Structure 1
């Protein structure tokens, strides 16, 4: 017996423990083969949420309009427009909407009867893409048997009609109507979307990144392609002081203390005390947070200004230490503090002197400008411990590692947040490390591994190397998450010349409109450019200026349309989402979301415009997907087991 035959026999013996007879193996093959012919489940793509939890939650609840489209299909001739709107809102927010509806209903029994039948009818449609086993796993424990019976009602069988009718009547008469409506609404929400893809940047300016992460933790099927802001928080949680300083500075700059203090219980007291003492008489004008006067008091704004300046100076020192430590990053142009002439109040950049807008830098040692003071070290250590000990943050970051990565290949499509670093001539930018050259996929794979090393490694040197890579992913010139020549944070704070503020996008962003660019990238990742697509985020599509999210003749789709309110003036919309169902691709562009309260009280859904990007002549089946290929592999294994049983190689148990 060869080694391969012995290995195969060992595997089949293990498989036989799960399928101990010819009958068991045969039934499994029959069931799996049937699954291959089901319609493909609906995939939902969303990007650049930036902490806007209310908009995110609503789009999640309505499946980017998927549920409303089903309601239109099923009830177009039986419900009025306001009835369809109210029914949709009930499904999105059952707990909150039910009391508002019922207070104006006289015959509540009849309302429950009608509503339950409508929910069951809709439930049958959205569950039709799933096996009974998959639906059963999604059912709430309290109503599992009842819902399963109702979803598979045989309307043509007369002797079953009274049975189903009696179930509905009993639910109502036992005062379980409220709970049943909630259960059905949540089931419909869950079954409307089979898989959620988040194409990066859960974190940043909005106040609810921690709330979004809680929702993702509970979501039934999700993956995350890390964004530049995500990797920054991941680095901070891992212990990277440079990432930590950037996180705090950005939160202070945009007045987003909610996520830090209330979301993750990270105490800002050490930094506040240090800033008040160090910059007591400094107005810190250049560090005023970008907030409106009605959000914070003047004293709060003054304190945040001082804290922002304090952490910014710490950040510049920490980043310089990484640049000096990792020469191969090629970021010597970010060594700036030693270029300052304190007597003249200038800094020399590229041989040109620039006047500094702020010369009060008491923490900079002229002899060793990148050395942290003892007080700065103390503050950093307290902050580092606060990040490390935040259970909620660590739980969220571990989830990002478990469910995420720098890119994903799924169902023949390539998903990533930022870019594939390229040269102006269309070739891939290369990075040489330890005698090896990396580009495109190999570079992404290496960075992904090192980012995990930065969190999970036990060796201090390996861990530090990984953490430095996480900072590089945030701001490095060839970083696939950053996609710019430099991060001009210092220049924006201290210099007036707009030329010094320019960061310069990677050539990828000028080239991605071209079909040949998409073809080159897809081939580099082993995909068929005739059928595959790239789904991209990171840079908002400026719809107001006529820019299209569909590029490279449809081979590349950018779905950052401005979920974050900070970008909506530029984009003109409030985000894109992409839907890939069994009929093809749909791109939904969304109008701004007013509030959850108005959505519930007034039935205000997010107004979405849907564009069909691809309509298939033949419906996509499970057999055409990654899941189908896994099922087919399992069928081949079971067929080998069946042959082994029949050949007498393995005995039935």
Structure 2
């Protein structure tokens, strides 16, 4: 210790380096003795030899809270697999599934089970409690084997941590402890805390079965409860998010982009989801509704899209949604002209479509061809200045935008989305991104020229990441550039989140010729089948192609198409949660699991309901496919966390030398 103290005194007499400062802090605060340093080194090096924990990948949730919540609770079938591994030869398939349902929905399943057993003979419920607690402890012990006792303790409900550890780590085969354990179990029942204990244990199991969650974008739009998904993510123990193009509209609206706001209002009206804006986020649409009713009528092209379970009268609510959709669409098309003119670097002059219309003939010029327009609603457009908003439109947009910026509940969610999110993530040698990397047909990264500088590849997504944060953190700034870039991410031709040459919203509304509706994809979506291209992509982000993968969302995998590409290096996991997509995909989409044995792609049935799972034991996992199987089981040492632990060990060994 004398040598260490001498070194510390030397640090105080001279200006210390950063490393010396860090060593001094460690010595004085965390590791004041040589024994403390040795203990920490032993602990960290032991952790490095534990099996790699499980990562869970989901994507394109699109507001479908019930389906997402179920997949989160069952760990994409991981919990059922653990149960089967332990109890497969001891319980019938029905009992296995009922036990799984209890772990997914402990509060609801307990109420259902108590109602069943209270009708039976005396003691049936108490026996069920004792059997269930024993099975839960056995399962908890099994799923805890990857972790240190310290980490397991942190996952336990504090009120039950002591008793759980006693039941978990005391060997029931030891004769002297048997009566002790039996009494602990009986006391749980007799003191009336069995339900609370079972519920707490079920949630601990859920947490330990999946160590970390990756959400690959598009939490918002389509489905009715994105706000519940955001609440769920904010309470989840470990999560990261890669932004999707639909998420960008909500971030953009909160960053002061009127154009993003109008797009999300139009989509919400089109899919009958305005309640999310009004009820979940407290943003009044009364003035918008009145304005739409006064200026627009029925229009077949703007009627809301119905999905399974929707029903309303087109002369009432349906007409109102049709009118609102027209009002915000026309304002959107007007503002597109302004933004495109303000940002020449976007190179989108061909998409200022209201300037291409002949308002007398009701035609439009596109790519040298003339098309007749139908279902037009152009009464509030000045043909001499089609980008000009009326005074009422200006006032309406200003008020709505202020409401989005001032909504505390919305800002609470979007602050989390921005802080926990990113354009991409490199994690354990996998590249996670929602959409694509814009490339040429030859696979070369497309350049994006912006404010005198050229960006491509990783530089491009880094630029967007930086500007999204800048725009969100300065929503009332005079410079529109960052907010405009967020809109560009929604539909720009070199946007990594959009991945198409143009968004044909205008054409779908007003032109019958379906050839104009086609949205041409970036060559990335063909090239991602090629292993050589994927290797280049991984190298661009500093990852090792021999062991790396790219994980994509954004594009639903249609019937007959494969989600595994490029010799297993490219994985597409668009969840297919949205009911609007399921007629095309034919199922509930994919998720991905990555544990110490390798990657598994999980296919899901469409979700029915929580009640169906509780009463009938229905689950939604249909099949698993092994993407790769590790020859040598991965340990913590093989992960990004392991790399950091190794650095800590290195530093600690330097510290040990100071002693």
Range into which the TM-score falls when normalised by the shorter chain: over 0.9
Task: For 1:512 and 1:223, locate their aligned partners in 2 and report how far apart those are by CA, in whole Å.
Answer: 24
Task: For 1:359 and 1:627, locate their aligned partners in 2 and report how far apart those are by CA, in whole Å.
Answer: 57
Answering whether residue 187 of structure 2 is matched by residue 170 of structure 1, we say yes
2:93 to 81, 104, 122: 81
Aligned to 2:247: 230
Aligned to 1:636: 650
Deviations for 1:249-291, whole angstroms, at most 9, x for unmatched residues? 0000111123212221221111101111112xx3223211112
Cα offset, 1:247, TM superposition = 0.4
- Counterpart of 1:424 in 2: which secondary structure? coil
2:618 to 604, 608, 611: 604
- Counterpart of 2:116 in 1: which secondary structure? coil
Aligned to 1:488: 504
Task: For 1:357 and 1:187, locate their aligned partners in 2 and report how far apart those are by CA, in whole Å.
Answer: 58
Paired residues for 1:374-453 under 5 Å:
374-453=391-470
Paired residues for 1:58-457 under 5 Å:
58-105=70-117, 106=120, 107-279=124-296, 282-291=297-306, 295-297=311-313, 298-457=315-474
1:531 to 543, 547, 552: 547
Task: For 2:268 and 2:552, locate their aligned partners in 1 and report how far apart those are by CA, in whole Å.
Answer: 25
Cα offset, 1:160, TM superposition = 2.2
Conservation of the 8 A alpha-carbon contact between 2:172 and 2:181: no
Answering whether residue 581 of structure 2 is matched by residue 550 of structure 1, we say no
Task: For 1:375 and 1:307, locate their aligned partners in 2 and report how far apart those are by CA, in whole Å.
Answer: 15
Conservation of the 8 A alpha-carbon contact between 1:65 and 1:608: no
Task: For 2:317 and 2:354, locate their aligned partners in 1 and report how far apart those are by CA, in whole Å.
Answer: 29
Task: For 1:400 and 1:278, locate their aligned partners in 2 and report how far apart those are by CA, in whole Å.
Answer: 36
Conservation of the 8 A alpha-carbon contact between 2:256 and 2:475: no
Deviations for 1:156-205, whole angstroms, at most 9, x for unmatched residues? 43322222222111111101111111111111111110000011111120
Task: For 1:372 and 1:149, locate their aligned partners in 2 and report how far apart those are by CA, in whole Å.
Answer: 70
- Counterpart of 2:581 in 1: which secondary structure? helix
Conservation of the 8 A alpha-carbon contact between 1:124 and 1:151: yes
Cα offset, 1:352, TM superposition = 2.2
Cα offset, 1:8, TM superposition = 2.0
Answering whether residue 18 of structure 2 is matched by residue 7 of structure 1, we say yes
Task: For 1:366 and 1:345, locate their aligned partners in 2 and report how far apart those are by CA, in whole Å.
Answer: 11
User: Once structures 1 and 2 are overlaid, which stretch shifts more, 471-480 or 383-392?
Assistant: 383-392
Aligned to 1:651: none
Task: For 2:175 and 2:527, locate their aligned partners in 1 and report how far apart those are by CA, in whole Å.
Answer: 64
Aligned to 2:4: none
Conservation of the 8 A alpha-carbon contact between 2:255 and 2:474: no
Task: For 1:427 and 1:337, locate their aligned partners in 2 and report how far apart those are by CA, in whole Å.
Answer: 34
Conservation of the 8 A alpha-carbon contact between 1:238 and 1:388: yes
Cα offset, 1:428, TM superposition = 1.1
Aligned to 1:650: none
Conservation of the 8 A alpha-carbon contact between 1:561 and 1:573: no
Deviations for 1:125-153, whole angstroms, at most 9, x for unmatched residues? 11111111111111112111111222222
- Counterpart of 1:354 in 2: which secondary structure? strand
Q: Which stretches of structure 1, 4 residues or longer, exceed 6 Å deviation after superposition?
A: 1-5
Distance 1:434 1:231, change over 3 A: same
Cα offset, 1:459, TM superposition = 7.7
1:504 to 503, 506, 520: 520
Task: For 1:146 and 1:385, locate their aligned partners in 2 and report how far apart those are by CA, in whole Å.
Answer: 52
- Give the TM-score of the pair, scaled to structure 1: 0.96
Conservation of the 8 A alpha-carbon contact between 1:226 and 1:404: yes
- Counterpart of 2:580 in 1: which secondary structure? helix
Aligned to 1:587: 601
User: Once structures 1 and 2 are overlaid, which stretch shifts more, 565-574 or 216-225?
Assistant: 565-574
Aligned to 2:63: 51
- Counterpart of 1:560 in 2: which secondary structure? coil
User: Once structures 1 and 2 are overlaid, which stretch shifts more, 508-517 or 17-26?
Assistant: 17-26
- Counterpart of 2:182 in 1: which secondary structure? helix
5+ residue gaps in structure 2? 1-9
Cα offset, 1:436, TM superposition = 2.5
- Counterpart of 1:414 in 2: which secondary structure? strand
Answering whether residue 552 of structure 2 is matched by residue 521 of structure 1, we say no
1:477 to 482, 489, 493: 493
- Counterpart of 1:565 in 2: which secondary structure? coil
Cα offset, 1:532, TM superposition = 0.4
Deviations for 1:268-316, whole angstroms, at most 9, x for unmatched residues? 111101111112xx32232111126962222111111111100001111
- Counterpart of 1:477 in 2: which secondary structure? coil
Conservation of the 8 A alpha-carbon contact between 2:244 and 2:554: yes
Aligned to 2:630: 616
Task: For 1:401 and 1:493, locate their aligned partners in 2 and report how far apart those are by CA, in whole Å.
Answer: 33
- Give the TM-score of the pair, scaled to structure 2: 0.95
Task: For 1:551 and 1:249, locate their aligned partners in 2 and report how far apart those are by CA, in whole Å.
Answer: 35
- Counterpart of 2:602 in 1: which secondary structure? strand
- Counterpart of 1:585 in 2: which secondary structure? strand
Task: For 1:8 and 1:291, locate their aligned partners in 2 and report how far apart those are by CA, in whole Å.
Answer: 62
Task: For 1:132 and 1:4, locate their aligned partners in 2 and report how far apart those are by CA, in whole Å.
Answer: 41
Deviations for 1:72-120, whole angstroms, at most 9, x for unmatched residues? 0000111111110110001100100112112222321111111000000
- Counterpart of 1:384 in 2: which secondary structure? helix
Cα offset, 1:387, TM superposition = 1.0
Distance 1:458 1:210, change over 3 A: closer
Distance 1:337 1:9, change over 3 A: same
Cα offset, 1:4, TM superposition = 9.8
Conservation of the 8 A alpha-carbon contact between 1:365 and 1:371: yes
Deviations for 1:441-478, whole angstroms, at most 9, x for unmatched residues? 1100011101111111378244x211111100000001
Aligned to 2:581: 567
Task: For 1:360 and 1:470, locate their aligned partners in 2 and report how far apart those are by CA, in whole Å.
Answer: 28
Cα offset, 1:637, TM superposition = 1.4
Cα offset, 1:588, TM superposition = 0.6
Q: CA RMSD in A?
A: 1.6
Task: For 2:493 and 2:452, locate their aligned partners in 1 and report how far apart those are by CA, in whole Å.
Answer: 20
Aligned to 1:649: none
Conservation of the 8 A alpha-carbon contact between 1:410 and 1:626: yes
Conservation of the 8 A alpha-carbon contact between 1:208 and 1:258: no
